[in-house]
Structure 1
Amino acid sequence: MRTGSRKRMLLCGLAVVGVCLLALVAVYLAFLRPVPDVSRTEVFFGMEVTMRARGRRAEAAIESAFRAVEHILHTMSRFREGSDVWRINTSAPGQMVGVSQMTFDLIRRALLISEMTGGAFDITILPLMELWRSARRTGVLPSSDAIEAARARVNWRGILLDADRREVGLQAPGMGIDLGGIAMGYAVDAAIATLKEHGIGEALVDASGDMYLLGAPPGREWWRIGIEDPRREGAIFAYLDLRNEAVATSGDYRWYFMVGERRFHHIIAPRTGFPVERMQSVTIVAPDATLADGLSTGIFVLGAAEGIRLVEGLDGVDAVIVSEDADGNRLIAVSSGIEGRTTLREDARALIPAAEEPVADPWAGEPAHQEHLAALLANTGLTFTAATKDDLNYYRLYDSAGRLQGFVLPSTEQGWGGPIELFVQTDPAGVIARVFVWRHQETPIYVVGLEDFLRSFRVRPAQAQLVWQRDVHGLTGATVTAEAIIAAVRRAGTLAQEKGVFIPPEGGPEP
């Protein structure tokens, strides 16, 4: 081989090596460059959505995630003509409407949360929402008749689903759905899924308080999230350390109006038709934002004690609940699974176990109670007075000579078609004299023989652990209805016994 050829080959080889070295250096320098940390905010229907992502493709990932959120919120808006929800709400009773897969899936998920919370979360709340929105606009509270008329159209069991045809319908006239209590959480989950598809492993998506925390910031083990104080705007009362989890907060402090000293807000209890009282905020931590969003509303309606009991039985779900007692004192309850990752500011009240919070019947004291009770006692020679003991509302019964003859305990429980509201009349010692069901939404065929069933409760202790078809009989084929009535009676009796309402047979001071 000639010397010149060898030199040319050597030079070519050196050139190739040089190019490879330059490429390696370029790759090395690229890895030395900081990984982009991109943050962006957009507004949808007046609500801010902020995304922060870290990764080489963060900009493109965030753009795709925002478009996914936009598509979901437009599809599920009840205000947007032609949307899935708009078409459902404008359909005739019983008419089935074809919807997108995501709308069908979300409605089905909402119904599961309704089942989980005993109807406290209910996407058919729309008639009551519109009634109270009008009250906020005009400053005039709705009448009892208007509330009752709206309540009659709220029933999550009246949503019709056809999975094969992917269709949704509403059973009764005047019904309507609103996905505002869960759609934003669903949009957050979709945004996170989109970011993951783009290779993002560290991100935060915040949709006006519904959040998901993916991975953790560089050099940290957790994302630290502040919970806003519901009574001090802009102040933080607690911090949560989260990773690969969703968090959502519902509260009475964003959308409300005052009438005198009373606060009326947008979270309405389906069973009463009124905005929930003595609750300030509920923060839920869950595996996904859809569940966190729905549960934060449902548990706000249930109340602190019932809410903590519920989340303690759910895998991967925790809660921080701020409520208040009858005097307005703050109560803070934190579920056991997140206590070690919750930091309260020094000026926040020390933790109070939820079990110590009094549980009052949400129906007690309602004006309709006294009207029905007066009618039921019209020919008995008995009169009644309202009473309260440790936040438990009940009624005392007196004869014409003014002697105490017993008590009436209001109670309610979710039946098959909706809430079953009843009175438990007892003697002074707590033995049942009568049980009255004064309002229900059960299908008529399921309550045939109701009076015979109610008579079987007589002369039994109100707090007894009664078993259907063993201790009390009737309502054959109506398992849900029968069990609901038994549970309502037992709960009323148990609360009255715990609060010391009943008087032992051997005597004792009148409560």
Structure 2
Amino acid sequence: MTYRRVEQVMGLPISLALRGRHAGGTRADDAWAAAVTFLRGVDRVFSTYRPDSAISRLGRGEIEVGECPPEVAEVLAIAETARVDSGGAFDVRRTGPDGAPVLDTDGVVKGWAIQRAARAFADLEDTDVCLSGGGDMVCRLADPGGEPWRIGIEDPRHPSRILAVLPLGNGAVATSGTAHRGRHIVDARTGAHPRGVAAITVVATELTWADIDATAAFAMGRDGLAWLRTRPGRAGVVVWADGSTDTYATPAKPSVAPVVDGVLGRRRVGTAHRPLHGLVGRGTQPARDLVQQTHGDEVPGTTGAMRPDHARTRVAESDPSSASASALREPGSAR
């Protein structure tokens, strides 16, 4: 049995799937309620659509960082690290159409908030967890050798279809692209829209950085893949504007348990059902040949509304009773 919940928070669907000992019951309900309550609090602090939010008031210069809730300073510190690491391609500060400065931390907050909200499920023993915010996901396996979550990656040219499947144990996955909102991401250094790329998916240990890196790499356009290959402990798929794909995987830092291990390869989407080699293993163990190209498989249904900027990944659980572990089954996916 899989316990599922969906709630609209922060302008996007927050979806939960639990498997195992606490897939249902009071403890699952209480943990879900705690996660949603936390996310609603995040929205009150960081929403740029709320004129009275701390981030809106800070952006208008009405208050200082020290007068904000402490998580604002935390998010701004992460944003500054991201700006430096990306060479300025990712930046939460920009100049608006009227020439006034704009502070928009959405590119940090979503991944950071979902990662933090997942802590609400840490005490559910013997329970697998997958928490999604608009399609970007944090996953956990109670048993590192257990059945991984299978995450479907949308084809940005045909969003109703699955391009590839990532078996994900303990880690996070995020995607940035043009499929649902057009060319809305710009390189903060130039203000120009990226060229040559349709979507970038990043797998990492934490959603905070998976989400940031997907956005930053997408903003870099054709240079994004080379930059991702310098990022420790990252893996994923790049879909180029011509429909071809690249996969990548980089070693983790020695102090971080390895999440990825793979063989890099280039594939033309839709030519053959061949592996997009080695992205994510079960738990934190390295693995190869686990991501399968499934272009052309129609998605039978989805749950929840889509948030237009990041909504490219879906839970596609494997059926333990199925004769083929690679067969897709979506009993209510989260996009």
TM above 0.5, one fold?
Answer: yes
Does the Cα contact within 8 Å between 2:246 and 2:264 map onto a contact in 1? no
Which among 73, 78, 86 is matched to residue 109 of structure 1?
Answer: 78
Secondary structure in 1 matching 2:31: helix
Change in 2 beyond 3 A, CA 1:302/1:274: closer
The aligned counterpart of 1:410 is none
Which among 41, 52, 57 is matched to residue 6 of structure 2?
Answer: 41
The aligned counterpart of 2:45 is 75
Q: Give 1:105's aligned amino acid.
A: E
Change in 2 beyond 3 A, CA 1:44/1:348: farther
Does the Cα contact within 8 Å between 1:237 and 1:348 map onto a contact in 2? no
Which among 266, 278, 283 is matched to residue 201 of structure 2?
Answer: 283
Distance 1:197 1:99 in 2: 30
**What's the CA shift for 1:188?**
1.0
Change in 2 beyond 3 A, CA 1:273/1:308: closer
**What's the CA shift for 1:311?**
2.8
The aligned counterpart of 2:189 is 271
* CA RMSD across the alignment: 3.1
Q: Give 2:56's aligned amino acid.
A: W
The aligned counterpart of 1:59 is 29
Secondary structure in 2 matching 1:280: strand
Distance 2:188 2:136 in 1: 23
Deviations 1:389-410 (A, max 9, x none): xxxxxxxxxxxxxxxxxxxxxx
Distance 2:215 2:5 in 1: 27
Distance 1:198 1:175 in 2: 44
Mind listing any 5+ residue stretches in structure 2 that lack a counterpart?
Answer: 251-259, 278-335
**What's the CA shift for 1:37?**
3.6
Change in 2 beyond 3 A, CA 1:315/1:119: same
Mind listing any 5+ residue stretches in structure 1 that lack a counterpart?
Answer: 1-35, 132-148, 151-173, 257-264, 354-511
Q: Give 1:286's aligned amino acid.
A: A
Does the Cα contact within 8 Å between 2:10 and 2:47 map onto a contact in 1? no
Secondary structure in 1 matching 2:160: coil
Distance 2:5 2:65 in 1: 39
Change in 2 beyond 3 A, CA 1:125/1:53: farther
Does the Cα contact within 8 Å between 1:268 and 1:274 map onto a contact in 2? yes
Does the Cα contact within 8 Å between 1:228 and 1:235 map onto a contact in 2? yes
The aligned counterpart of 2:150 is 224
Q: Give 2:234's aligned amino acid.
A: V
Secondary structure in 2 matching 1:255: coil
Does the Cα contact within 8 Å between 2:111 and 2:211 map onto a contact in 1? yes
Structure 1 segment 322-337 matched on structure 2, within 5 A: 322-324=239-241, 329-337=242-250
Change in 2 beyond 3 A, CA 1:311/1:278: closer
Deviations 1:160-207 (A, max 9, x none): xxxxxxxxxxxxxx2121112121111111121111045474100111
**What's the CA shift for 1:46?**
3.4
Does the Cα contact within 8 Å between 2:125 and 2:142 map onto a contact in 1? no
Which among 206, 213, 224 is matched to residue 307 of structure 1?
Answer: 224
Change in 2 beyond 3 A, CA 1:348/1:339: farther
Q: Which of 1 and 2 has higher RCO (CA within 8 Å, sep 6+)?
A: 2
Distance 1:341 1:102 in 2: 39
Secondary structure in 1 matching 2:17: strand
Distance 2:271 2:196 in 1: 17
**What's the CA shift for 1:266?**
1.0
Change in 2 beyond 3 A, CA 1:323/1:189: same
Change in 2 beyond 3 A, CA 1:118/1:45: same
Comparing 273-282 with 183-192, greater Cα deviation is found at: 273-282
Change in 2 beyond 3 A, CA 1:105/1:45: closer
Secondary structure in 2 matching 1:118: coil
Structure with higher Rg: it is: 1
| Residue correspondences, number | 261
Q: Give 2:270's aligned amino acid.
A: D
Distance 1:53 1:240 in 2: 18
Change in 2 beyond 3 A, CA 1:345/1:96: closer
Comparing 40-49 with 115-124, greater Cα deviation is found at: 40-49
Distance 2:167 2:146 in 1: 11
Q: Give 1:181's aligned amino acid.
A: G
Q: Give 2:94's aligned amino acid.
A: I
Distance 2:143 2:181 in 1: 33
Secondary structure in 1 matching 2:72: helix
Which among 317, 336, 360 is matched to residue 234 of structure 2?
Answer: 317
Structure 1 segment 233-248 matched on structure 2, within 5 A: 233-248=159-174
Change in 2 beyond 3 A, CA 1:224/1:352: closer
Does the Cα contact within 8 Å between 1:125 and 1:270 map onto a contact in 2? yes
Q: Give 1:113's aligned amino acid.
A: A
Does the Cα contact within 8 Å between 1:126 and 1:178 map onto a contact in 2? no
Verify: 1:181 aligned to 2:99, yes or no. Answer: no
Deviations 1:303-350 (A, max 9, x none): 34x3333333332222311123xxxx2231111345749998972578
Change in 2 beyond 3 A, CA 1:351/1:116: farther
